[in-house]
Amino acid sequence: MLDGTESWVPDELAFAGRENRDPTHAKRYDQIEDSGAANEVAMLQDWGMGANAKVVDMGTGTGQFAVAASPVVAHVTAVDISPVMLDELKAKLASLGLANVSCELAGFLTYRHSLEPADLVYSRYALHHLPEFWQAVALSRMASFLRPGGLLRLSDVVYGFAPDETAQRLQSWIDTYAPAAPGDQPSWARADLEEHIRDEHSTFTWLLEPMLERAGFTIEEAVYSEDQVFARYLCVRR
Ligand X SMILES: C[S@@+](CC[C@H](N)C(=O)[O-])C[C@H]1O[C@@H](n2cnc3c(N)ncnc32)[C@H](O)[C@@H]1O
Q: Report the interface residues with ligand X, using CB under 6 A.
A: 12, 16, 20, 33, 35, 58-61, 64, 79-82, 85, 107-108, 124-126, 129-130
Using the minimum distance from each CB to ligand X, give the nearer residue, 93 or 126. 126
Q: In whole angstroms, what is the distance from residue 27 CA to residue 23 CA?
A: 6
Using the minimum distance from each CB to ligand X, give the nearer residue, 6 or 164. 6
Q: Provide, rounded to whole angstroms, the least separation between the CB of residue 10 and ligand X.
A: 9
Task: Tell me the residue nearest to ligand X as measured from the CB.
Answer: 61
Q: Provide, rounded to whole angstroms, the least separation between the CB of residue 162 and ligand X.
A: 26
Cα-based angle 19, 156, 141 (whole degrees, multiple of 5): 95
Using the minimum distance from each CB to ligand X, give the nearer residue, 108 or 233. 108
Q: Provide, rounded to whole angstroms, the least separation between the CB of residue 109 and ligand X.
A: 7
Using the minimum distance from each CB to ligand X, give the nearer residue, 11 or 165. 11
Kindly report the backbone phi and psi dihedral angles of residue 42, in degrees, each rounded to the nearest multiple of 5, phi listed first: -60, -45
Q: Provide, rounded to whole angstroms, the least separation between the CB of residue 163 and ligand X.
A: 25
- Cβ(201)–Cβ(132) below 8 Å: yes
Using the minimum distance from each CB to ligand X, give the nearer residue, 16 or 229. 16
Q: Provide, rounded to whole angstroms, the least separation between the CB of residue 158 and ligand X.
A: 14
